[in-house]
Amino acid sequence: MSTITKKMDTQEAVHDFLPLEGTDYVEFYVGNAKQAAHYYMSAFGFQALAYAGPETGLKDRASYVVRQHKLTFVLTTPLHPGNDMADHIYKHGDGVKALSLRVKDAESAWKETTSRGAKSYMKPQRLKDDNGEVVISGIHTYGDTVHLFIERQNYKGAFMPGYRAWGNPLFCPADTGLLYVDHCVGNVGWNQMNPWVKFYEDVMGFKNILSFDDEDISTEYSALMSKVMSSGNGFVKFPINEPAEGKKKSQVEEYLEFYRGEGVQHVALATSDIVTTVRALMSRGVEFLKVPTTYYDDLLDRVGHIDEDLAPLKELGILVDRDNEGYLLQLFSKPVEDRPTLFFEIIQRKGAKSFGKGNFKALFEAIEREQEARGNL
């Protein structure tokens, strides 16, 4: 028995041409990185980690790196117009530029993906300083979004060469219990979901672990389709949404209109205690979508036994869903910029490794109430 298991493991290893160790960091292009970094520290509980800018030899940008447990955000702003960063912000507003993935070999990751059809964004580069070496490479994905491959096992510094340690001993907000990136969702255009599913299958060796059609995800007014792509080891999950025909404009269409194209819709942040985390985030000003309290009337009939008391979940508006392995608790923030584009999900998994479909309707009806208030439904 053990021999067979081992043999299968070996075969799996042979076929995993792009072994990913998880998300290394998420980089946002923003209009004002100094203030964005302050928002993620004060509202979300990140800690200051590293900085790069004119003082460290970068003439075209400033980047602030903040961290909470295994979660790292890089907030980057251009110092001049007429470059990719400035054009990105002009077109999309603040948004995610790079979903960076940790690898053991960034050169191999670039070769394996570009040889399978990925468009190169950055050839492998070796960055060195007194703390060691980071190798970085990258490919394009949907819209103007990119995946960077980060190899950092030979680096001991704060973040990577070019950055210096950064922090203010007088400003260290407590963390909110956010642990790591659970998944990142992309919104793509009409009829583009399947081509991007094929991209993740062919170019990155991902598998489609779950599909929702417009019957699964629809309200009275709007609909969307979604397919969940996962790396072989499950450490990286990228659901992809596409709008579907409905009576009114769907939330994906609203996103595509205001983001001016395809891009990251939400980043899901994991916690091991969602009630404490959400309470802390709310007290610091993070705004969440509200479901009607009737959502809780038949919740336990839908999801079965849960360990948590219902009262705090109802008070905070936390949603519960189930897959065939367990359940999960989740809550969605309102967009974190003025365009109705990027938002965050807070998620706690209790056995469930993928997603349920029970929450979609409640969530979308909550989003539609917001869309209606914006005049975009």
- Can you give the binding site for Fe ion, defined by CB under 5 A? 268, 345
> Minimum distance from CB of 99 to Fe ion (Å)?
14
CA distances from 202 to 18, 109, 194, 324 (A): 11, 13, 12, 27
User: Of 51 and 238, which CB lies nearer to Fe ion in the complex structure?
Assistant: 238
**21: helix, strand or coil:** coil
Q: Which residues pair with 139 in a beta bridge?
A: 120, 147
Please state the closest distance from residue 252 (CB atom) to Fe ion, in A.
13
Q: Is 156 helix (H, G, I), strand (E, B) or coil?
A: coil
Looking at beta carbons only, is 94 or 345 nearer to Fe ion?
Answer: 345
62/224 with CB nearer Fe ion: 224
Half-sphere exposure of 367 (CA within 13 A, CB side): 31
For the bound state, the minimum distance from the C-beta of residue 356 to Fe ion, rounded and expressed in Å, comes to 11
Using alpha carbons, list the distances in angstroms from residue 283 to 101, 267, 316: 32, 21, 11
For the CB of residue 217, give the shortest distance to Fe ion in the complex, in Å: 12
Taking the complex as a whole, the smallest distance from the CB of residue 183 to Fe ion amounts, in Å, to 6
Q: From the CB of 330, what's the least distance to Fe ion, in Å?
A: 7
For Fe ion, the closer of residues 75 and 346 by Cβ is 346
Distance CA 226, CA 356 (A): 12
Smaller CB distance to Fe ion: residue 137 or 277?
Answer: 277
Q: Which is nearer to Fe ion, 321 or 345 (CB)?
A: 345
Q: Which is nearer to Fe ion, 151 or 262 (CB)?
A: 262
If DSSP codes are grouped into helix, strand and coil, which group holds residue 116?
coil
Within 13 A of 30's CA, how many CA atoms are on the CB side?
Answer: 24
CA angle 319/320/326 to nearest 5° reads 155
* Non-local CB neighbours of 335 within 8 Å, separated by 6+ positions: 341, 342, 343
Q: Which is nearer to Fe ion, 242 or 345 (CB)?
A: 345
Distance CA 139, CA 113 (A): 8
Rounded to a whole number of angstroms, the minimum distance from the CB of residue 293 to Fe ion is 23
Q: Name the E strands within the chain.
A: 23-29, 47-52, 61-68, 71-78, 95-102, 120-129, 132-140, 146-151, 164-165, 178-187, 207-212, 223-230, 237-244, 263-271, 319-322, 327-332, 343-350
Q: How far is the CB of 237 from Fe ion (least distance, A)?
A: 9
